[in-house]
Amino acid sequence: MCGIVGYIGPKGAVPILLEGLRKLEYRGYDSAGIAVIEEQKLLLRKSEGKLGVLEERLKEEKFLGDIGLGHTRWATHGKPSNENAHPHHDCKGKLAIVHNGIIENFQAIKKMLEDEGHSFFSETDTEVIAHLIEKFYQGNLVKAVQKATSKLEGSYAIAVISQDNPDQIVAFRQDSPLILGIGEQELYLASDIPALLPYTRKVIILDDGELAELNRKNYQIFDLQGNILEKEIEEIDWDLEMAEKKGFPHYMLKEIHEQPDVLRQLLTTPLKDDGIDLPELGSILDFQKKIDRIFIVACGTAYHSGLIGKALLEKTTKIPVEVDMASEFRYRSPLVGENSLVILVSQSGETADTLAALRYAREKKAKTLGIVNVQGSTIFREADYTLLIKAGLEIAVASTKAYMNMLAAFNLVALKMGEGEFNGEKLAELLHFLREIPAQAEKTLHKIERPSRQAAEYIKNWDNAFFVGRGLDYSLALEGALKLKEISYIHAEAYAAGELKHGTLALIEEGIPVVALVTQEDLLEKMVSNIQEIRARGGYVLGLTQDKFVSRLEGEVDFLLSIPNTSDFLAPLLGTIPLQMISYYAADLRDCPIDQPRNLAKSVTVE
């Protein structure tokens, strides 16, 4: 959600800024802009729409400045427009600012500044910061930014340049990610790692309340009191090649096909002959006897992984588990205490609502476990314990491989915490199936690619679709419905199949597509009965099952897909692949922008 890029060094800034913004396009945006300083004059260009619109405009101009900022905006205050696009400037047009996040008290600050004679040109909260810095500026940009940020309330990251300080970028972070990249006699700034990968692997991740000053010789980082901090330089081991499509037409399809490999990345080390080695859980295992409740808190796709995590953890640990949408968690006054374990799930490790839930849990003295994909992210650093899902860089807005590895991570945690509840034979059986999952995922990809496209051929012509299941299949159905609606724009809903007769059957009409998940043996006959209810009312049922249940489903559904046999406990890991593929092909057949669906952002860093 929004992207910041900055550069200062001996090279022309514009190509570097545009390339950095291109690497951040996956985050979602509706406008783009840059600001550079050339011959001590601030030059600013911005446009509504995709980055290509801005690039076409810049072809007509030759900006040679070697210091600048770039931004892609996802609208929060004010509609997408040229005026509301970033960067924003002060009254005199000498200072430019880019901003991610939300300033909660901007209306009060704006009124104060207007009373003092400042004029505003946009509807954004961002522009207020530019004028506030202008108000405090007396020749020292660092001090002006420090004073301005002390007046701001909210979650944000900003970067500022001024033609009066042509050798300096000043940046500040509060609850929104910001990363300093260190090159050879040049410095970079970005809101996410991919923007830096073409240029450097050496980064410093700013913490909340930290200000960075980048100049032509070096950098300095300050805390809120103005003290200079010594920050450790981290080496990023992400492969730049992971950010390329590798011949696939879309990042989403590439990332679906990467799932066997990322499963191996996650599972190979912890899976031992006699059990699971998961040192990331640390003293949670010693504390486990005291745990009276587990909370899983997440958003969107990560929330759906948590629903499956709940079922697994309750089955293995016999501890009650609650799953909360992070945006609701704090506001319902959850009964979190010092004997609680709160598991926070986030692909980026920066999701604003999930991060706020983490801090709430820590205030209540609960133990916290972060399940995240980004090392060094805020949740990674602030949680008591962290399990990296090792899915690698995910570009498509609709999560696939990160969701897969979230499910795998929950299986690891559940089996490790539940070791005492299994007899040796049962645990050995589950470990055997889990070791096979990467290879089974490869088989699934080859097996279901064609039938998934055939299913999508039917679904693409409908405005509505339904997903049904029971137990683990219902939780997976929720993710299947989300995937379909977020990239194909087909309205899709998931229902617990046993609830159909309590009202939902009224929605079934002749031919409407219903994806029925049937992977759980103990619920097989119940699901067959529910499918018969749907077909009796004219619904077109697309069944998804394991190979071992195919003979029972034949004749009961209109179209059947099957995944290789595995433990019912692990079936969601394979079952998610055909759901992803159906959604992908439905979106492709409808000519939708698959990697960047409208109105959505990859990393949601505002509440």
Active site residues: 2, 602
- 3-class DSSP assignment, residue 197: coil
Q: Which of 3, 175, 135 is nearest to 72 (CA)?
A: 3
- How many angstroms separate the CA atoms of 29 and 20, rounded? 14
Whether 577 contacts 587, CB under 8 Å? no
Whether 466 contacts 514, CB under 8 Å? yes
Omega before 87 within 30 of 0, i.e. cis: yes
Residue with tokens 């995590």: 309
Calculate ∠ Cα 158-164-170, nearest 5°. 25
- How many angstroms separate the CA atoms of 193 and 207, rounded? 15
Say how many CA atoms lie within 13 Å of 546 toward its Cβ: 20
- How many angstroms separate the CA atoms of 351 and 406, rounded? 15
Calculate ∠ Cα 252-253-256, nearest 5°. 85
Q: Which of 200, 258, 571 is nearest to 396 (CA)?
A: 258
Q: What separation in angstroms does the CA of 181 have from each of 5, 236, 416, 528?
A: 10, 10, 38, 56
How many Å from the N-terminal Cα to the C-terminal Cα in the chain? Answer: 11
Q: What separation in angstroms does the CA of 446 have from each of 577, 580, 598?
A: 11, 14, 30
Whether 534 contacts 508, CB under 8 Å? yes
Angle, helices 141-149/126-136, rounded to nearest 10 degrees: 130
- How many angstroms separate the CA atoms of 569 and 61, rounded? 60
- How many angstroms separate the CA atoms of 458 and 484, rounded? 13
Angle, helices 571-589/472-488, rounded to nearest 10 degrees: 20
- How many angstroms separate the CA atoms of 55 and 52, rounded? 5
What are 47's strand-pairing partners? Answer: 32
- How many angstroms separate the CA atoms of 301 and 354, rounded? 13
Task: Name the pairing type of β-strands 293-298 and 321-325.
Answer: parallel
